[in-house]
Amino acid sequence: MSEVISTSDARPWTDPNAVPFLQIKNVTKKFGAFTSVYDVSLDIYKGEIFCLLGGSGCGKSTLLRMLSGFEGLTSGQIIIDGQDQAGIPPYNRPTNMMFQTYALFPHMTVEKNIAYGLKRDGLPRAEIATRVTDILSLVQMEGFATRKPHQLSGGQRQRVALARSLVKKPKLLLLDEPLGALDKKLREETQFELIKIQESLGVTFVVVTHDQEEAMTLSSRIGVMTAGEIVQVGTPREIYEYPRNRFVADFIGSVNIFEGRIAEDGESHVIVASPEAGLDIYVPHSISGVIGQKVAVAVRPEKVVISKDDLGDLRNKLIGTVDEIAYMGDASVYQIRLDNGKRVRVTQTNLTRSEESTLNYGDRVNLGWDGSAGVVVTS
């Protein structure tokens, strides 16, 4: 998983004096008796690309729609650039949104769709024309200016929708699943373009996605949502390496979870006694808890090493049998069955081009992970 940080020293959320550009304060949205977004509070700073990541139906779109003014708040407050947005209609907000369904005007050509917002601002014709041309070349749609939306493929429509939201260079850009319909290569290119746009225009982005890899690549920070609530906010690295709970650990990348109880709470570590792993797991810098408290330890598959040989002085060591091997090209994924039946997922980078893997089905192997690899998560 790659991680692009736009400017290495731009971490305004660590600065207690920084003023957030977008403040979402205790926002709740109910549809009848159903709570779609519950008590969400977020501070997003100028120039961030903030990703809202979460499964289908967790309230991501609803939150964006409240930011752009299409849904009222049941309670809470939204402040953009110091201005409370309560009562401000969508057409007066400093935001532009790329809709999940694109919502391209079917009776207008690509060109007219993109020019629509600029016309509303009363820009001179010549400037509109150049900006439309520029943005079309940015999304690689130069040849399609005079087509109507129904004459485009899904991915092309998505690019037009993206262009239409970008062209006004709003202070706050809201993208709802902006790259879902693009092929991998174009998606990566566009992600890169988005980061470039962000750097050159200083626009603040809130991007909704359920693709964790995209969130990792794009964002300065990620907010993980489930069932209408934000469960964790952090940089991609923080979210990946220190997931706060099981849901986050599971949602971002794959993970091995070992249930257990806290057996020892030391100065710089905890020991979790895990019958599931058949091991007392050593975990550093973790949350402190009471002895005997039920917790789980999350270990990323790529942090587990396997070998037929002895693993030396690794902190956490186990023995198991190779159950499954999946060759993925750059890496291989192994499923190792422990003697108590628990299966452990291990990813190993394929460093050499050997015809045969050194490990085979049914092999007895040693596996283990470094003391720093595990992280305690609550359920």
- Would you tell me which residues interact with ligand ATP (CB under 6 A)? 31, 34, 36, 54, 56-62, 100, 210
Nearest to 117 by CA among 155, 168, 166: 168
Taking the complex as a whole, how short is the minimal distance between the CB of residue 3 and Mg ion, in angstroms? 25
User: Does 62 contact other proteins by CB under 8 A?
Assistant: no
Regarding beta strands 256-265 and 294-299, do their DSSP bridges make them parallel or antiparallel, or are they unpaired?
antiparallel
Indicate the residue among 60 and 221 with the shorter CB distance to other proteins: 60
Among 23, 68, 226, 316, binds other proteins (CB under 8 A): 68
Residue 70 within binding range of other proteins, rule CB under 8 A: yes
The nearest distance, CB 167 to Mg ion, in angstroms, is 23
**Residue 317 is a binding residue for other proteins (CB under 8 A):** no
Residues 39-68 within binding reach of Mg ion (CB under 5 A): 61
Q: Which does 362 bind (CB under 5 to 8 A by kind): Mg ion, other proteins, ligand ATP, none?
A: none
Residue 95 touches which of Mg ion, ligand ATP, other proteins, none (Cβ within 5-8 Å per kind): other proteins
Contact 182, 127 (CB under 8 A): no
Residue-by-residue DSSP string for 162-187: HHHHHTT--SEEEEESTTTTS-HHHH
Q: What is the Cα 10 distance to its own chain's centre?
A: 19
Work out the number of other CB atoms within 10 angstroms of the CB of residue 254: 13
Name which of residues 345 to 364 contact other proteins (CB under 8 A).
none
3-state secondary structure of 219: coil
Q: Does 103 bind other proteins (CB under 8 A)?
A: yes
Q: Which does 347 bind (CB under 5 to 8 A by kind): other proteins, Mg ion, ligand ATP, none?
A: none
What is residue 360's DSSP assignment?
-
Segment 94 to 123, residues that bind Mg ion, using CB under 5 A: 100
Query: CA 210 to CA 40: how far, in whole Å?
Result: 18
CA gap 4, 217 in Å, rounded: 6
Can you say how many angstroms the Cα of residue 50 is from the centroid of all Cα atoms in its chain? 9
Which span sits near other proteins by CB under 8 A: 19-27, 101-109, 124-132, 179-187? 101-109
Q: Token digits for 10?
A: 């731009």
For Mg ion, the binding residues (CB under 5 A) are 61, 100
